[in-house]
Structure 1
Amino acid sequence: MVPNNFRRLRGVAIAAAVVASLALSSCAAASGDVSSGPQAEVAPGFLAKAGGDAENPGKLTVQLDYDTAEVQGLDPQPAEAARSWMIMGLVYETLVTVDENFEIQPELATAWSQPDPTTYVFTLDTDAKFSNGRALTPADVVGSINRLLKTPSIWTGQLGPVESVEETAPNEVTVRLASPHAPFLAALANTPAAILPMAEIEDGSVDVTKEMLGTGPFVVEEHKQDTKWLFTSNTNWRGGDNFDVKELELQIVKQETTRQASLREGSAGLTNFVSVDSLTQMQGAAGVSVVNQLQSDYYYVLLNSQRPGSPLEQQDVRFAINAAIDRQAIADIVFAGTTSPTGVTPSTLPGACDPTGLPSATTDVSKAKSVIEAAELGSEPLKMLVYTDEPVLTQIAQLIQQQLAEIGVTTEIEQYDGATYNNRVFTTKPGNFDLAIGWFAGYVDTSSVTQWWNPSISRFSDGFAGSHDDLNELIAAGAAAQEPSERAEIFTRLCATADEYSEMVPLVHRPSIIGFNSGSVDPTIQSNEGYGDLLRNITDYRLTGK
Structure 2
Amino acid sequence: MRHTNRTGLSIACGVTAAVLITAGCSGGDTSTDDTSTPAESEPGYLAVADSSLPAGGELDVQTHIDASVATGLDPQLADLAAAWQLMSLVYETLVTVGPEFEIEPALAESWDMPDDTTYVFHLRDDVQFSNGRAMTADDVVGSLERQLELGSVWTGQLGPVESVTAVDEHTVEVALAEPYTPFLAALANVPASILPMREIEDGTLNPETEMLGTGPFVVADHRQDVSWRFERNDDYWKQDEPGVDAVNVQIVPQEAARIAALQDGSASLVTLGNVDSPALLQGASDVSVLTQANTDFYYLMLNSQWEESPFTDPRVRQAVNMAIDRAQIADVALAGLGHPTGVTPAGLPGACEPGDLPSGMADLDAARELLAEAGAENLTFELAIFSTDPAPAVAQVIQQSLEEIGVTVEIEQLEETSWNGKVYGEAPGRFDAALSWFAGYADPGMVTKWWNPDAAGFNLGFMESDAELTGLIDTVNSVPQGPERDAAITDLCAAVEDDAQMVPLVTRPSMVGYRADAVSVSLHADEGYGNPLRLLSEARMVRAE
- TM norm. shorter chain > 0.5: yes
Find the residue that maps to 1:460 and give its secondary structure. coil
SS of alignment partner, residue 143 of structure 1: helix
CA shift for structure 1 position 360: 2.7
Aligned to 2:462: 464
CA distance in 2, matches of 1:100, 1:33: 29
**1:264: which partner in 2?**
263
SS of 2:304's equivalent in the other structure is coil
User: Counterpart amino acid of 1:287?
Assistant: D
Following superposition of structure 1 onto structure 2, how do residues 136-535 of structure 1 map, counting pairs within 5 Å? 136-377=135-376, 381-388=380-387, 390-535=388-533
User: In 2 relative to 1, CA 332–262 (structure 1 residues): closer, same or farther, beyond 3 Å?
Assistant: same
Q: TM-score, normalised by structure 2?
A: 0.94
Give CA deviations for 1:248-296 in whole Å, capped at 9, x if unaligned.
Answer: 0011112212211211222211101111111111111111111110000
Aligned residues of 2:310 and 2:381 also touching (Cα < 8 A)? no
1:137-168 residue CA offsets vs partner (Å, 9 max, x unmatched): 11111100000000130100000000000111
Which amino acid in the other structure matches residue 518 of structure 1?
A
Runs of at least 5 residues in structure 1 that lack an aligned partner in the other structure: 6-17
Please state if 1:538 is matched with 2:536: yes
| CA shift for structure 1 position 30 | 5.7
Q: Please, which moves more after superposition, 26-35 or 46-55?
A: 26-35
> What CA deviation, in whole Å up to 9, does each residue of 1:282-333 have, x standing for no partner?
1111111111100000111111111225331111111011111000011111
Distance 1:28 1:431 in 2: 41
Distance 2:323 2:378 in 1: 19
Map Cα deviations across residues 51-103 of structure 1 (whole Å, 9 max, x no partner).
Answer: 23341411000111111114121111010011111111111111111111111
Matched position secondary structure for 1:221? strand
* Greater alpha carbon shift after TM alignment, 354-363 vs 172-181: 354-363
- Alignment-mate amino acid for residue 473 of structure 1: G
TM-score calculated relative to the size of structure 1? 0.93
Distance 1:400 1:232, change over 3 A: same
Q: Deviations over 1:405-449 (max 9, x none)?
A: 221112211122222222222231112111110111000111000
Give the CA deviation at 1:484.
Answer: 2.2
Contact persistence 1:26–1:336 (CA under 8 A): no
Measure, in 1, the Cα distance between the counterparts of 2:259 and 2:418.
30
Q: How does 1:29-40 map to 2 (within 5 A)?
A: 29=20, 31-32=22-23
- More off after superposition, 21-30 vs 127-136: 21-30
Separation (CA, whole Å) in 1 of partners of 2:49 and 2:415 = 40
Whether contact under 8 Å (2:343, 2:496) holds in the other structure is: yes
Within 1, Cα distance between the matches of 2:15 and 2:141?
56
Instruction: Measure how far apart 1:363 and its partner are.
Output: 4.7
Cα deviation, 1:426-476, whole Å, max 9, x if unaligned, reads 231112111110111000111000000111111111221221111111100
Counterpart of 1:57 in structure 2 is 56
SS in 2 for 1:165: strand
Tell me: CA distance 1:167–1:26, structure 2 relative to 1, closer, same or farther (3 Å).
Answer: farther
Amino acid at match of 2:20: A
1:406–1:27 Cα change, 3 Å: farther
- Residue 338 of structure 1 and its aligned partner are, at CA, apart by 1.6
Question: SS where residue 511 of structure 2 aligns?
Answer: strand
Equivalent residue letter for 1:189: A
Distance in 2 of aligned mates of 1:539 and 1:508: 31
Does the aligned pair in 2 maintain the 1:30–1:336 contact within 8 Å?
Answer: no
Does the C-alpha gap of structure 1 residues 53 and 225 become closer, same or farther in structure 2, counting only changes over 3 Å?
same
In the other structure, the counterpart of 1:108 is: 107
Question: 320-329 or 393-402: which moved more?
Answer: 393-402
Pair 96,20 (structure 1): closer, same or farther in 2 beyond 3 Å = closer
In structure 2, runs of 5+ residues without a counterpart are: 31-37
CA distance in structure 2 between the partners assigned to 1:329 and 1:169 by the alignment: 56
Identity of aligned pairs, percent?
A: 45
